[in-house]
Amino acid sequence: MTEILIKGGRIVTAVDDYIGDIFVKNGKIETIGRQLDIPDAQQYNASGLLVFPGGIDVHTHMEAMQGIARNSDTYATGTIAAAFGGTTTILDFAYQNKGESAKKTLDDRLALAEPQVCIDFGFHLILTDVNKDVLTELPSLIEADGVSSFKMFMAYPEILMVDDAAIFRTMRKVGDRGGMVNLHAENGSVIQVLIEEALEQGNTSPQYHALTRPRLMEAEATHRAIRLAELAEVPVYIVHLSAPEALENVVEARDRGIPAFAETCPHYLFLDNKEYDRPDFEAAKYVMTPPLREHHCQHHLWRGLRFDDLQIVATDHCPFCFNEQPLGINYSKQLGQDNFAKIPNGAPGVELRLVLLFDGGVRTGKINLNRFVQLVSTAPAKMFGLFPQKGTIAPGSDADLVLFDPDKKQTISAKTHHSRVDYSLFEGREVTGKVEKVFLRGELIVDGDRWLGEAGKGKYLKRSASGRML
């Protein structure tokens, strides 16, 4: 494998910030220093650029199904999009079908993803059917297969939702073996009542998606999830936190020393529920769960990020096209034309996480550069058992590196993004900052607008313990 030397960049990790050279050998960072001279190495000039560890997005849905709906990104298209956005590792989901063994769930997903994936990857296992046999399997999934996080839904009754007993049993099984439970925290039963009431009154438009998923029901489930985890003595991770009332529960638990963690997503930081006022069916583009909240909620989320009440920014990339064509109705929001409850829940974003957070977080002074790196790379690696192989720039770590121009402006558009989806939540937004080059284990996979990576080159990552950080 070629040796490379990245010269004169401003190297930024979660704790460091200095100008230096990085020498990479066999896909790993070998040496970091000043004015390194390695004549045989392929050289890249990084002066004027920031050098970050590759982004780690711990919440994506590629090629998944939601009832009859299908995500529009395949593992190939979705990971190319991720790479263009400076993300070199994703943690995606393996969904258990009811009655299926956990090992089969994992093996099937791996077989689907492995030939296509262009960046490194791992899985959280989604449990929908927690029975004795499945519980017995979990220790070996952690120890032999490197899956140390298990997601369950407290929402979507009859489809994905599991009850408190299932959550508690899973927590007890995985807790002392290095496992963590991730929860979609919303009170699904109450939300179902609100959905039925809205539909009975003839309220079928996308706006009612938001009106039937109140912040209080996110808070209620977050509180319940944390208390169950406290009793089971296991770390717990709340996905896609959007409501200040839910965040209060995380803060309260963390102040008591409970290992409760949470992520939020760029759409909750930069968008609000005014998007649901869009005419016609346009509001369906913003139907994700939890829904976008009132504008003032953003302030609480930024505060949470700043004070480490929220540990990670992940995308919850879950793309569906707006239009029926060319992929077909099952890939499209149009499934819910007559009934908001049938609009596939989810939105694209895997390509935008770094640039949005840099532009709207670092440049505005809401977070500093070190915290930025921590939120998009280092904390995800530590939280999910990938550190120090991933998540930092240090001798011995994988040479997943992003060269980032902090001054270049770009305008976000579905016309130029790489995700296989026909709209962007951020269409027309001008941002400052651009990913210029991306290296995956020392190989240049993105060079400006050129794609140099290859399907199947992404490696499956067996992870160690999750949630062992306070």
Tell me the Ramachandran region of residue 26: left when phi exceeds 0, alpha when psi lies from -120 to 50, beta otherwise.
left
Question: Which parts of 45-74 interact with ligand DUC (CB under 6 A)?
Answer: 61
- Using the minimum distance from each CB to ligand DUC, give the nearer residue, 106 or 239: 239
The residue (of 184 and 285) whose beta carbon lies closer to Zn ion is 184
**Using omega within 30 degrees of 0 as the cis cutoff, is the peptide bond preceding 326 cis?**
yes
Nearer to ligand DUC by C-beta: 13 or 96?
A: 96
Residues 298-317 as x/- pattern, contact with ligand DUC by CB under 6 A: ------------------x-
Residue 345's binding partner out of ligand DUC, Zn ion, none, with CB under 5 to 8 Å set by partner kind: ligand DUC
Nearest to 4 by CA among 46, 50, 57, 66: 46
Q: Does 289 bind ligand DUC (CB under 6 A)?
A: yes
Q: Which is nearer to ligand DUC, 318 or 369 (CB)?
A: 318
Between the CA of residue 175 and those of 148, 178, 263, 469, what are the distances in Å? 10, 6, 20, 14
Please pick, from the candidates 10, 169, 215, 240, the single residue that binds ligand DUC as defined by CB under 6 A. Answer: 240
Residue 148 touches which of Zn ion, ligand DUC, none (CB < 5 to 8 A by kind)?
A: none
CB of 84 to ligand DUC, least distance (A): 22
What's the min distance (Å) between Cβ of 453 and Zn ion?
A: 24
Provide, rounded to whole angstroms, the least separation between the CB of residue 10 and ligand DUC. 35
Residues 6+ apart with CB under 8 A from 373: 12, 13, 14, 52, 53
Nearer to ligand DUC, 43 or 192 (CB): 192
Q: Is the Cα dihedral 301, 307, 309, 311 positive or negative?
A: positive
The entry of Zn ion, ligand DUC, none near residue 333 (CB within 5 to 8 angstroms by kind) is none
Cβ of residue 292: shortest distance to ligand DUC, in angstroms? 14
Residues in 176-195 at the binding interface with Zn ion, rule: CB under 5 A: 184
Instruction: List the single partner that 283 binds among Zn ion, ligand DUC, none, CB under 5 to 8 Å by kind.
Output: none
Query: Considering beta carbons, is residue 137 or 263 the nearer one to Zn ion?
Result: 263
Q: How far is CA 272 from the centre of its chain?
A: 19
Cis peptide before 406 (omega within 30 of 0): no
Question: What is d(CA 278, CA 381) in angstroms, rounded to the nearest whole number?
Answer: 38
DSSP assignment of 362-431 equals ITTTSS-HHHHHIIIIIHHHHHTT-TTTSSS--TTSB--EEEEEEEEEEE--TTT--SS-S--TTTT-EE
The Cα 465–Cα 462 span in angstroms is 10
- Measured distance CA(373)–CA(367) in Å, rounded: 10
Q: Residue type for 61, please?
A: H
- Return the number of the residue (55 or 349) whose C-beta is nearest Zn ion: 349
Please state whether 372 falls in left (phi above 0), alpha (psi between -120 and 50) or beta: alpha
> Which CB, 316 or 359, lies closer to Zn ion?
316
* Integer Cα distance of 55 and 317 in angstroms: 14
Beta bridge partners of 45: 7
Binding footprint of ligand DUC, residue count (CB under 6 A): 9
CB of 265 to ligand DUC, least distance (A): 9
Tell me, residue by residue from 254 to 283, as one string, x for binding to ligand DUC by CB under 6 A and - for no binding. Answer: ------------------------------
How far is CA 124 from each of CA 52, 150, 165, 321, rounded to the nearest angstrom?
25, 6, 20, 25
DSSP-H helix ranges across 175-331:
188-200, 207-211, 215-232, 244-255, 266-270, 297-306
The whole-angstrom separation of Cα 178 and Cα 259 is 13
Longest dimension (CA), the chain: 74
Q: Looking at 120, 263, 275, 316, which residue binds Zn ion (CB under 5 A)? A: 316
Of 56, 464, 467, nearest to 236 by C-alpha is 467
CB of 344 to ligand DUC, least distance (A): 8
Question: Among ligand DUC, Zn ion, none, what binds residue 71 when CB lies within 5 to 8 Å by partner kind?
Answer: none
Selected range binding Zn ion among 34-42, 78-86, 192-200, 313-321, rule: CB under 5 A: 313-321
Q: Which residue in the shown chain puts its C-beta closest to Zn ion?
A: 184
Q: How far is the CB of 240 from ligand DUC (least distance, A)?
A: 6
| 345 binding ligand DUC? (CB under 6 A) | yes
Residue-by-residue DSSP string for 165-183: HHHHHHHHHHGGGT-EEEE
Cα gap 373→21, rounded to integer Å: 19
Q: 327-366 mask for Zn ion (x: CB under 5 A)?
A: ----------------------------------------
346 interacts with ligand DUC by CB under 6 A: yes
Smallest distance, Å, CB 83 to ligand DUC? Answer: 21
Name the residue nearer to Zn ion (CB basis): 23 or 153. Answer: 153
Site map for ligand DUC, 174-193, x if CB under 6 A? ----------x---------
Binding site for ligand DUC (CB under 6 A): 61, 184, 239-240, 289, 316, 318, 345-346
Binding site for Zn ion (CB under 5 A): 184, 316
